[in-house]
């Protein structure tokens, strides 16, 4: 699974040819979460509250890029890196 961004110890990853709804995976230490690209809801898993807040803040800034990444992943094309949260 390609890592498309990393910040503050959080990895953001996206699978190729994965199921709907469009989403990405966030990993922080032993915690894993799946986040919707459309409404930033937690689909499953868990993250500490502070890490989840950072992930959602980042996703809101990069929603259009995440949707582009989703389309690339569905087509089995190379994903690009998304700017980390600063």
SS3 at position 27: strand
CA distances from 85 to 6, 8, 11, 28, 74 (A): 8, 8, 11, 14, 25
- Per-residue pLDDT tens digits for 12-63: 999 876 678 999 999 999 999 999 999 999 999 999 999 999 999 999 999 9
User: What residue has token string 């230490």?
Assistant: 29
* pLDDT recorded at residue 1: 73
* Distances 54 to 21, 46, 71 between C-alpha atoms, Å: 21, 13, 24
Q: What is the pLDDT of residue 15?
A: 84
> What secondary structure does DSSP assign to 31-49, as a single string?
EEEEEETTT--EEEE---H
């Amino acid at each position: 699974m390609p890592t498309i961004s990393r910040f503050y110890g959080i990895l953001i990853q996206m699978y190729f040819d994965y199921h709907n709804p469009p989403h990405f995976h966030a990993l922080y230490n032993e915690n894993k979460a799946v986040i919707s690209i459309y409404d930033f809801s937690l689909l499953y898993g868990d993250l500490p509250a502070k890490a989840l807040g950072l992930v959602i803040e980042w996703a809101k800034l990069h929603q259009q890029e995440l949707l582009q990444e989703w389309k690339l992943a569905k087509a089995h094309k190379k994903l690009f890196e998304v700017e980390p949260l600063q």
